[in-house]
Amino acid sequence: MSRADDPRVFGRVAVVMGGGSAEREVSLMSGRGVLDALKSRGVDAHAIDGIPALLDAVRAGHFARVFNILHGQHGGGEDGVLQGALQSLGIPFTGSGVLGSALSMDKVRSKWVWSALGLPTPRFVPLPRGADETRVHDAAHVIGLPLIVKPASEGSSVGVSRVFEESDLDNAVALARRYPGDLLMETLIEGEELTVSILGREVLPSIKIVPKGAYYDYNAKYVAEDTQYLCPGLQGDAENEVRALALRAFDALGCSGWGRVDVMRDRDGNHWLLEVNTAPGMTSHSLVPKAAAAVGIGYEELCWRVLETSLEGGAA
């Protein structure tokens, strides 16, 4: 990865945040942290809210590159749309390019790719948005209980339900349908929740997430102060295995720059891939900063290192 010592090498940087997705508030929290960190290192960084304002400013020649900390799809800037626009304008940016962003945002297609390559991911059934009650319940019988229902293209645990009784299935589907796009039903893996961060080609130590409640939901991620984060999450061969799997999953989807791979470890010690985040959260509760800190990379240095990934001649 290209390294930089002088903040002037980056030129004027747009830190794009907010946007119009369901993850707007998380993105704003992330963006404020990134903006302050880059400014503290002497980078000529400026906040921009959303894709239309960013593209207007870029076309007007106001920025040399973009630090993308938008989250989600449909105006969220994590689904390949923004990446394609910036590539067409010749503007370098952080994170994955069109292919990696689009594939990672679509959990169904992510899982198709991993399955084709023999990478482990929970059993799943894609559900078109208009699937009727019979189709939904047939899919549940294929998957078996317990299972998870979620929007196929959202993050930050929005719209996710864990279903232990078939009588709860219809409410779970109704919640997921509040968000755009198709749905995904998959086996609920019971065990330890892990996440592995990637910075350039460096795989950071895993984090084991131990929420006080039963699950690592939106509240545990962004609000609660009692969630435990154990880093590294595993030891010895198990840690090496989950890191290697995360990098293979990241590469399989065409991702680049930086990101985070979420994994479940079941009670038999098997690892199961859940999803890749190509613009992970950078809030005070977020996981990439915690993993970086474990290897001596502070928050400001982490933001600098992520920005350095945009010096590779543009994301792939």
From the list 281, 286, 305, 308, the catalytic residue is 281
From the list 106, 154, 193, 262, the catalytic residue is 262
The verdict on whether 275 is a catalytic residue reads yes
Domains 7-94 and 104-120+190-294 share a fold: no
From the list 275, 299, 305, 308, the catalytic residue is 275
Class of domain 7-94: alpha beta
pLDDT, position 99:
97
Class of domain 124-187: alpha beta
Whether the Cβ atoms of residue 146 and residue 188 lie closer than 8 Å to each other: yes
List pLDDT tens digits, range 242-256. 999 999 999 999 999
The verdict on whether 96 is a catalytic residue reads no
Q: Map tokens 């899919």 to a residue.
A: 139
Integer CA distances (angstroms), 6 to 3, 9, 11, 37, 81, in order: 10, 6, 10, 15, 31
Tokens of 191: 């065990």
Helices (H) and strands (E) in the chain, counts: 11, 13
| CATH number of the structural domain 104-120+190-294 | 3.30.470.20
pLDDT, position 15:
98
Q: CB pairs under 8 A, 24+ apart, for 287-290? A: 287/195, 287/197, 287/207, 287/209, 287/229, 287/260, 288/197, 288/199, 288/204, 288/258, 288/260, 290/207, 290/229, 290/231
pLDDT, position 156:
55
Residues with pLDDT less than 70, the chain? 1, 155-156, 213-224, 313-316
The verdict on whether 300 is a catalytic residue reads no
Domain ranges of the chain: 7-94, 104-120+190-294, 124-187
Q: How far apart are CA 207 and CA 292, in angstroms?
A: 11
pLDDT, position 237:
98
3-state secondary structure of 220: helix
pLDDT, position 103:
95
The verdict on whether 218 is a catalytic residue reads no
pLDDT, position 3:
83
Do strands 65-68 and 12-17 pair parallel, antiparallel, or not at all (unpaired)?
parallel
Q: Which of 278, 244, 298, 304 is nearest to 73 (CA)?
A: 278
